[in-house]
Amino acid sequence: MKQIFFFIIALFFISCEQTEQDANENFKKATEFYKQKEYEIAEYYFDKIPEDNPLYSESQRILQEIDNIKLFSSEKLAKPEELRQVKVLNHTFTFNAETMEPKHNIKISSENTRTIRFMVLKFTYYNEVNQPVDQIVVRENLVMYGRVTDTFKDVIPGKVKSKFYSSRVEILSAEFDD
């Protein structure tokens, strides 16, 4: 009976060691593909890192970087001077505590003459002492024709991680039609 017990314990430790080695190998491969700008392959290997591994938080951070790179890779993106012509004038939100999904109404003004097709928006959520508790970056199909002010209703960027009391919306990028 003791031999079976020790055999099971030995298998457990070998299994844990193998999982750790696999995670290290996957992280190494992912990092190499990331450096080569092979983002889809890098994502595949980063996604294989288990949550209980010390490399997990770093892999998640790099996955977020990859998402941001993809968001900003279009040739039709607004130049910085064009982006300064597009502003959030006001925004309000309602919050469904059951689904943890805020719903925003966002009033945006564009002084640019070009038609905007998409915007990358960053939603930052704050607790009662005005400390950030979550951020969500999304690419939204918000069409704006040149030199207009418009209100976009019921924009739902996704689920927030914790309860919040206020929020801020920033336009990180805009993509034009032409």
pLDDT digits (tens, 9 = 90+) for 21-75: 788 898 999 999 889 888 888 889 999 899 889 999 899 989 988 887 776 666 6
Higher pLDDT, 91 or 20: 91
In whole numbers, what is the pLDDT of the chain averaged over residues? 85
| Residue 74: predicted pLDDT | 60
- Sheet with 86-96: list strands edge to edge: 86-96, 101-110, 148-155
What would the 3-class secondary structure string for 9-35 be? Answer: HHHHHHHHHHHHHHHHHHHHHHHHHHH
Contact 91, 131 (CB under 8 A): no
Read off the pLDDT band of 16 (50, 70, 90).
very low
Looking at residues 101-110, what average pLDDT do you find? Answer: 96
Which of 49-53, 80-84, 149-153 is most confident?
A: 149-153
Q: Name all domains of the chain by residue range, CATH numbers in brackets.
A: 2-71 (no CATH), 80-176 (2.60.40.10)
| Residue 178: predicted pLDDT | 65
pTM of the model: 0.60
Does the pLDDT value for residue 140 go beyond 50?
A: yes
Amino acid at 146: G
